[in-house]
Amino acid sequence: MSKNLVVILGDQLSQNISSMDNFDIKNDTVLMMEVANEIEYVNHHKKKLVLIFSAMRHFANELREKKINVIYVEFDKSKKTFTEELENQCKKNKPDLIKITHPGEFRVLNEIKNWKDKLKIPVTILEDTRFFCEIKEFENWALSKNNLLMESFYQLMRKKFKILVDSEGKPLGGKWNYDVKNRKSLPKNHPKIPLPIKHEPDDITKNVISLVQKNFSNHYGSLDSFWFATSRKDALKSLDDFISNRLKYFGPYEDSMSSEEKFLYHSTLSVYLNIGLLEPREVISRVLEQKDIPIESLEGFVRQIIGWREYVRGIYWHLMPKYSESNFFDAKNNLPDFFWTSDTDMNCMKNCLQQTNDEAYAHHIQRLMVIGNFSLIAGLDPKKVCEWYLSVYADAFEWVELPNTHGMILFADGGILGSKPYAASGNYINKMSDYCKNCKYDVKEKNGKNACPFNYLYWNFFLKNESKIKDNPRLWTVFSNIKKMSKDKKQLIQSDSEKFLSKTIPK
């Protein structure tokens, strides 16, 4: 009987993971490892470290309860890489075969591909079947298309899995996409929105919090009031809570922002989906079972999971490693210090950054239209921005972070993922949030020392990059306004931007 060593990574915490298929309880062993390199390769938020380690430890206990033999390697500075630790374990256990589910990062895949030669043991890498779309299937779709925009991929997934379609394969409600109904700002006297449930840390989580406090106090972010679920049982409670308390209004207020409401009607489920405590299929089927949910909420939510989430993963594996190397606008600026300290007079940025520091969470529009928009129009270096996003959010894994950051917000891929750069002036932020009313800057002012920096940086971005994007049909209005702009106005925009950037961007 062959003896398999099944390696389970920190974002594969699902009992249905493909590497556990045909697990032989008498002969096989699961190996889970907390190694230094995975903690230190970027400045991960402390809450992200607690989430992953605690969830791994809970998962190992769940496996043990099922009489599965688990070797769990707890953190110790001397345990550097997966490969080194695996080598130690193979010497002791002498497996015939190593099994692992396809990892979520290119860097880790490369490491795994070297195991066979290094360890002289065969290695099987299995498809990650938690996703709706296999890597190869996405690749075939991508190779058959001239452009890779999300909408046609999303419709394909809806038809294939018969989600929100009628018996003839037509979309329920008559439209594939209700995006136009997802853009309401939160009214002034909107009732308080129920917060996501907070899970009290148990003894396992408390131990991990102490470990992180002791060993990684220099990492980014606050450890106060840790509330994430770290077990499947609690993650399921979070799913119920979202469905009962926030799903109904998810759609209409999806794009809004509020200094009073950190989470609005968002699910906060990405953290659990991305590490395996919840599976996308079960989340979708639970949501579709609900009665009386308006179509703009139902479709809006489904689009995020079977559309965007699957699509960015497909893009990542289809285009890596070259994808991360492009820099369409040749943007080279360093990150301002306030990305780490939240200390800025721009109230929108301060709010979103402080929330990121406190919660290891910001919702999509904060990531996209505030921090992301600023990163784009301030010309920040894509590699540095990607590293920041990968560090600071508890749900950040490269397969999902990179396409969103490199492609969606920075347009560093030159337009593979988005049809135009998501640049916006202060007007957009003012329309969709209450941030501007408490800001030192005046959102109505276009130039001068009181003017909202988003206003002049927005025009400066288009002036600077005119030759690269002026023929984009979706930017026709922008460039026809630029044509009408006086030379003096252009100079004012450029000098305000230079002054702001020279004060803000470290050399």
Ligand X SMILES: Cc1cc2nc3c(=O)[nH]c(=O)nc-3n(C[C@H](O)[C@H](O)[C@H](O)COP(=O)(O)OP(=O)(O)OC[C@H]3O[C@@H](n4cnc5c(N)ncnc54)[C@H](O)[C@@H]3O)c2cc1C
Q: Applying CB under 6 A, which residues contact ligand X?
A: 266-270, 273-274, 304-305, 308-309, 312, 363-364, 367-368, 372, 389, 393, 395-396, 400-401, 404-405, 408-409
Closest residue by Cα to residue 269 from 309, 299, 322, 297: 309
H-helix or E-strand containing 32? strand 29-33
Taking the C-alpha atoms of residue 68 and residue 274, their distance in angstroms, rounded to an integer, is 24
Dihedral sign, CA of 49, 398, 314, 169?
positive
Length of the chain: 507
Taking the C-alpha atoms of residue 26 and residue 7, their distance in angstroms, rounded to an integer, is 17
Q: CB 231 → ligand X: shortest distance, Å?
A: 18
Q: Is 238 in the site for ligand SF4 (CB under 6 A)?
A: no
Q: CB 406 → ligand X: shortest distance, Å?
A: 9
Choices 128-136, 266-274, 342-350, 462-470; region in contact with ligand SF4 by CB under 6 A? 342-350
Q: How many CB atoms lie within 10 A of CB 77?
A: 9
Structure tokens at 366: 């904060």
Beta strands in 45-162 (DSSP E): 70-73, 97-101, 123-126
Under 8 Å between Cβ of 253 and 297:
no
H-helix or E-strand containing 29? strand 29-33
Q: Where are the alpha helices (DSSP H) in 126-172?
A: 135-143, 150-160
Task: Report the residue number, 299 or 401, with the smaller CB distance to ligand X.
Answer: 401
255-277 per-residue burial string, b: 16 or more CB within 10 A, e: under 16? bbbbbebbbbbbbbbbbbbbbbb
Task: Report the residue number, 95 or 251, with the smaller CB distance to ligand X.
Answer: 251
Task: Report the residue number, 256 or 270, with the smaller CB distance to ligand X.
Answer: 270
Give the interface size with ligand SF4 as a residue count (CB under 6 A).
14
Choices 20-28, 280-288, 322-330, 436-444; region in contact with ligand SF4 by CB under 6 A? 436-444
DSSP state of 100: E
Task: Report the residue number, 272 or 441, with the smaller CB distance to ligand X.
Answer: 272
Q: Is 430 in the site for ligand SF4 (CB under 6 A)?
A: yes
399 binds, among ligand SF4, ligand X, none (CB under 5 to 8 A by kind): none
Structure tokens at 175: 């439209």
Under 8 Å between Cβ of 146 and 267:
no
Q: Is 369 in the site for ligand SF4 (CB under 6 A)?
A: no
First-last CA distance in the chain: 61
φ and ψ at 369, to 5 degrees?
-95, -10
Q: CB 363 → ligand X: shortest distance, Å?
A: 5
Q: Is 429 in the site for ligand SF4 (CB under 6 A)?
A: yes
Structure tokens at 271: 């953290």
Task: Report the residue number, 35 or 439, with the smaller CB distance to ligand SF4.
Answer: 439
8 binds, among ligand X, ligand SF4, none (CB under 5 to 8 A by kind): none
Query: Which member of 75, 426, 493, 497 binds ligand SF4 (CB under 6 A)?
Result: 426
Q: Is 459 in the site for ligand SF4 (CB under 6 A)?
A: no
Task: Report the residue number, 44 or 99, with the smaller CB distance to ligand X.
Answer: 44
Task: Report the residue number, 284 or 371, with the smaller CB distance to ligand SF4.
Answer: 371
Pairing between β-strand 4-7 and β-strand 123-126 as defined by DSSP bridges: unpaired
Only one residue has tokens 């996405």, namely 138
Task: Report the residue number, 63 or 348, with the smaller CB distance to ligand SF4.
Answer: 348
Task: Report the residue number, 55 or 429, with the smaller CB distance to ligand SF4.
Answer: 429
Taking the C-alpha atoms of residue 284 and residue 183, their distance in angstroms, rounded to an integer, is 22
Task: Report the residue number, 284 or 346, with the smaller CB distance to ligand SF4.
Answer: 346
Q: Is 443 in the site for ligand SF4 (CB under 6 A)?
A: yes
Q: Is 131 in the site for ligand SF4 (CB under 6 A)?
A: no
308 binds, among ligand X, ligand SF4, none (CB under 5 to 8 A by kind): ligand X
Taking the C-alpha atoms of residue 306 and residue 133, their distance in angstroms, rounded to an integer, is 9
From residue 344 to residue 363, the character string flagging contacts with ligand SF4 as x (rule: CB under 6 A) and all else as - is --xxx---------------
Only one residue has tokens 């994430």, namely 228
Choices 147-155, 254-262, 331-339, 341-349; region in contact with ligand SF4 by CB under 6 A? 341-349
Q: CB 395 → ligand X: shortest distance, Å?
A: 4
Structure tokens at 29: 């062993």
439 binds, among ligand SF4, ligand X, none (CB under 5 to 8 A by kind): ligand SF4
Task: Report the residue number, 50 or 451, with the smaller CB distance to ligand X.
Answer: 50
Q: CB 500 → ligand SF4: shortest distance, Å?
A: 11
Query: Which member of 220, 435, 458, 461 binds ligand SF4 (CB under 6 A)?
Result: 435
Closest residue by Cα to residue 462 from 450, 451, 476, 452: 476
Binding residues (CB under 6 A) for ligand SF4: these are 346-348, 426, 429-430, 435-436, 439, 441, 443, 452-454
